[in-house]
Chain A
C-alpha cells in the first residue's frame, strides 16, 4: 500500500473558507493566462484603434484569437467539444465570452486585412473598426462578469471587478503601445505615455477601491483580501502587482514626464513590469477567491 496517502480533503473542510482551486491550480494556470490574455489583447486593440496603429491591432488580434483562444482551448477537459461552449449565451457568460472572442477574431481579421489591402474603403473599415472595437471591449470585460457570477465567492462578487479587468487590459494596451512606439514613429509616443500614466493612476485607484470593497464584503471577502496582502500569496502581490506593476512604472512615468524622454530600454522595462503586474493581479484575484463556508461559525 504505497499510494493511499491523503487524497481527499478531510471532511471538516467546509466550515472554514476554502479557496477555489479549479481555476488556478494545476491546469488552472492555463485559464488564468487565457483570461489575462483576453484583457490584454482586447485592451491593446482598443488603444491601437485610438492611435490607428495597425501593428498594435494585429498584435491585439493575435493575443486574443491565438493566445487567449488557444490557452482556453487547452484548458478544457474535453477540447474536442469546445464548440459546445457557444450553446448557452442566453445565460452563460462563458458562452457569451466565446461569442465575443469569435466575433472579435472574425471582424478584427477582416478589418486588419481590409486596412492592409483595401485602405481606400474607409467607410467599410471604420464600420469594421467600430464593430470589432465593441467586441474587443467585450472580450476585455467579460471575464470580470464571469467571476462576478460565482455567488459563493464574495471576493469576486463585486460589480467593480469587470471595470478593474478592463482598466487593467487597457493599461496593458497602452504599455504595449508604448513599446511599439519605441520601434515605429507612426505612433505618438508622448500621447501613449500619457495614456499609460493616466491608466496607471486609474488602475491603482481601482485596485485599492476593489480591495477596500472586498474587505467589507462578508468575513470571507476580508479573508480573501488578507490572504492576498498578508497571507500565502502576499509576496507575489507585493512584488509583482505593487512594485513591478505600479511602483516601477510610476517611477518611470514620473521620470519621463519630467525629463521628457526616457531611453527605450527603460520604457520597455516599464512595459514588461506593467504586464507582469497585470498578469499577477489576475493571478492574485483568482488565487484568493474563497468560497463562503457552508456552515458559518459564530464568532
Chain B
C-alpha cells in the first residue's frame, strides 16, 4: 500500500456546497465520498461522486491554446501562459484605450463560486458589462425579495434552528431534490420533509415527489402569476391572512386586495388549466398550516413575466406571515467572514459604468449590475459592436441563451474572445484563446454560494493536469496585469483578503473549518427587533413588507403584481397556436447533468445518453409518437430533435424538452452538435421581461412530429453536415439551421 492521505474539501460539481472527503494514495484519488462532519452529513449525488472521471480525463484541456484557423474550425496551437496572458492583457489595454473599458465584457456561467472574481475583474478595469445567466436564474428572485422586504436573500428555513420545521412547503416550479445547491441543498429539504405536514408541488410535470405530495397543481407553463394572484384572492376572500403580520408589518394590503379581486378561482382555472378546487385548497393549506415556505424555481425566472410573477408569489409569503418566523422564509445571519460578494462590492460601480451597461436603461432591475445579454446580442448583430474583448469563464452562452442562431452569429463577430474551461466546448470553439482550468479537486479556493450562513473551503486534493490553473489564479494574473491596484501578489494573498472580515487566514481556514457555520447564531423575527431598523421594521422605504412597492413605481413599473401572458402562448398568440399547438417548456434539471455539462463523463452519460423530451401519452398518440422515438420539435425559429419519453406525469398539451445540450463528441465545426437538440434553437429573444430582461425560455409554442427514417440513420448524428451553422454571412441559412 502506498502513501495515503485524506483531504476534506467542498464539491462544486453543481452550484456546490456538499462536504467531501477524498482519499488520495500516491497522488491518485482512490475514493471520494461525502464528509460526514459537514452540513450535508456525508451525502453526495452522482455528479459530485463522478468527479473522479474529471481528474485524469483524457479530454481535459491541459495547456493554453491559440486559435489556428477559422472560428469554430477546431484548429488550435499550444502556447505558453506568458504568451496567453500577454496577448489577453494587451488586447484589453488596446480596447480600453480605443473604445473605453465598457467595450470589455466579462462573462460567466451560472454561479460556480467564481462570481466574485468575474465581477471584481470587471469593476477593477471599469466596466459594468458582466454577462451572466443570473437574469434567468436566481437574480430576479433576489432582486424582488429586495424590493419587497428590503433584504435580498430570503431562504426556506429547513433547519429547525428556531425549534420548528416548515409545516407547509411549496415547491413552485422547483425540484430542489434534483437541483440541489440552488438556494438550498436537497439534503436539508428532504430531511425537513420528515417533519412537514403538507407538501404542495406546483409544476406542469411530475417531479420526484409530485405523485405523493399532499397536493399537486399542474399549471400551464407561463401562467404562474395568475395562479399566485388567484391563491392570494382566495386567502383574502376567505379571511385567512395573517392579520397581525399584515396589519402591523405590511404596506399596501388594500391595493393588493383590489388588484387580485378579479382573479377568482374560476377565472384562474381557465387561464392556468388547474382545477379550481386545487387552487382553493392550496391557498387554504398554505394560509392555515403555518409556518410554511415557498421554494421558488428558476423555471419562473426563465420567463418574460418573471418579475410580476415573483412579485405575486412573494405577496403570498407576506399574506400568510411566513417571513422571518422559524420554519418560514428567512434571511440568514452571515458567517463571520461576511458576505462573499463584498470582495467585489468593495469596488463601487460608478455612474459612468452604470450608464454604459448594455440594456441598463431598459431593464432597470436586472441590468443594474450586469448587462442584458440578449440586448447585447442584438446590438452586436446590428453592427453596433459594443463589445470588443470578451473574457468568458465557465459559461456556455452559445448554448444557454435564447435564439441560438443569433447568438452564434453575434459571437462570431466579437473581435477577441477568451474562454476558460476544463473541456473544449462550443464557447471555446468560438474563442481566440482558450485557457485550461483546474477542477475543484485540483485547487484551493473559498466557497460560499447560496446558503448564506455557511462558508467552505476547496482544498486541493491532487495536481491539475498539464498546465491547468485555478480560476482564481487566472483572474488574479489577468487582474494584476491590467488593474494591479485591485489584485494580489499571490492566490494566497487574495484568499486571505477574502477572509479578512473573519480575522482568519486561508491556511487556518482551510485546515480547521473546511465546511460549516462560522459566526453568530441565527436570529428570527428580525423585523421585531432593532436588527434592520431601530424600533423594528423592514429595511424598505416604508419600513414595511411592501405589497405595494413605491420603489418599483418610481422606476416606472407597476407597484403591484400583474398577470401577463408569455410572448407566445395559446392566449396571447392564438393564430400562432393553431400552427404550433403545443406549449413547450424547457430545462427541467436532470440529476446527472449540470446544464450542458457531463455528457463527456462516461458514468453520468450512462444514465441517459440523449436529451429527452417528455410528452403525455395521450398527446403523443395524437401525433403518432411512441416512447423512445426521435421527434422533431419545431418553433418559428427552427427545429431540433430529442428522444421522446411518454410520461404520464406531464400535463396534456405540454412538452418538456431537456435544455442546455450539445454533444461533446460531435465535431468542432458544428459547435459540437449545438443545433441538433438544444431547445434554445427554438426560443425567442424578442419578448423580454420589463424588469429583468429575461426571455421566455420555459414557455413558448411548438409543434412536434416523428423523425423520419432518413432523419434517423445513424449517419445523421455522425455527418459533419448536420447541425452546421453556415458561415460566410449566409444569414438565411443560419436562421433556418436545419
Contacts and interface: CB of A to CB of B under 8 A. Distances in A.
Shortest beta-carbon contacts, A-B, top 3: A1-B665, A8-B606, A1-B664
Contact of B59 (A1, A6, A8, A11): A1
Interface residues of A, number: 10
Nearest to B605: A4
A32 B607 CA distance: 32
Interface string B581-600: 00000000000000000011
A10 B599 contact: no
Given A1-B59, A4-B600, A4-B602, A10 B608 contact: yes
B352 interface: no
A4 B608 CA distance: 11
15 contacts: A1-B59, A1-B599, A1-B600, A1-B664, A1-B665, A2-B665, A4-B599, A4-B609, A4-B665, A6-B609, A7-B606, A8-B607, A10-B609, A11-B607, A11-B608
Nearest to B58: A1
Contacts of B607: 8, 11
A10 B600 CA distance: 17
Interface of A: 1-8, 10-11
Interface string B182-223: 000000000000000000000000000000000000000000
A4 B606 CA distance: 8
Contacts of A10: 608-609
Contact of B609 (A2, A3, A5): A5
**Size band of the interface chain B makes with A:** 10 to 19
Given A3-B665, A11-B607, 6 more contacts: A1-B665, A4-B599, A4-B609, A4-B664, A8-B607, A10-B609
Q: Is the interface of A mostly helix, strand, loop or mixed?
A: loop
Nearest to A12: B645
Contacts of B59: 1
A3 B718 CA distance: 12
A146 to B, nearest CB: 32
Interface of B: 59, 599-600, 602, 605-609, 664-665
Contacts, number: 24
| Residue among A1, A6, A10 having the largest count of chain B Cβ atoms under 10 Å | A1
Contacts of A2: 665
Contacts of B665: 1-5
A3 B602 CA distance: 9
A142 to B, nearest CB: 38
Nearest to B663: A1
A10 B592 CA distance: 13
Contacts of A7: 606
B664 to A, nearest CB: 5
Nearest to A2: B665
A241 to B, nearest CB: 30
| Residue among A2, A7, A10 having the largest count of chain B Cβ atoms under 10 Å | A10
Contacts of B608: 10-11
A3 B663 CA distance: 12
A194 to B, nearest CB: 53
A109 B380 CA distance: 88
Contacts of A11: 607-608
Nearest to A9: B606
Contacts of B599: 1, 4
Contacts of B605: 4
A11 B608 CA distance: 8
Contacts of A4: 599-600, 602, 605, 609, 664-665
A7 B609 CA distance: 9
Contacts of B602: 4
A156 to B, nearest CB: 27
B153 to A, nearest CB: 37
A10 to B, nearest CB: 7
A1 B602 CA distance: 10
B642 to A, nearest CB: 14
A260 B602 CA distance: 68
A196 B608 CA distance: 53
Contacts of A5: 609, 665
A2 B606 CA distance: 14
A299 to B, nearest CB: 14
A200 to B, nearest CB: 42
A5 B608 CA distance: 10
B712 to A, nearest CB: 14
Nearest to B665: A1
Nearest to A4: B605
A119 to B, nearest CB: 65
A280 B602 CA distance: 38
Contacts of B664: 1, 4
| Residue among B599, B664, B665 having the largest count of chain A Cβ atoms under 10 Å | B665
